[in-house]
Amino acid sequence: MTAATDAVLGPLIIVVADIIVFYFVGKLGRRSTGTGPKYEPFTGGEESIPPRGLYRSNLFIFAALFLVVEALALILAGSFEAPSMTYPLLFLLGAGSVLTVTVWWFISSGGGEF
């Protein structure tokens, strides 16, 4: 194989392997269903714990967006070692679509509301 195909196949194999591992680990997790005191949530000795409100953290959303943008910037910086300009341009196209989906998620999750 050439360095150009390694630059494309390497990250692709890693992503596919991660998806497969996450899928099978999710299937291996134990699911418990039933009724009775055995299946009630742990209360730490208290009789009743008031329900918590909806957890929303704008800081978490901004941190997730920062991580996505930072990872894309680091990968783009290394992609200019490719033998031709095709690979950085393809990466920019893919990264642009990832950022578009991420910003769409940000807006649909209510992250733009302050």
Q: Does pLDDT of 86 surpass 60?
A: yes
Mean of the pLDDT values across residues 96-106?
81
Q: In this predicted structure, what is the pLDDT of residue 112?
A: 61
Mean of the pLDDT values across residues 16-40?
79
> What is the average pLDDT value for the chain, to the nearest integer?
76
Q: Does pLDDT of 34 surpass 80?
A: no
Q: Does pLDDT of 4 surpass 60?
A: yes
Q: In this predicted structure, what is the pLDDT of residue 113?
A: 61
Q: Which long-range contacts does 2-11 make (Cβ < 8 Å, 24+ apart)?
A: 3/83, 4/82, 4/83, 4/84, 4/87, 7/79, 7/82, 7/87, 8/87, 11/75
* Strands (DSSP E) found in 15-57: none
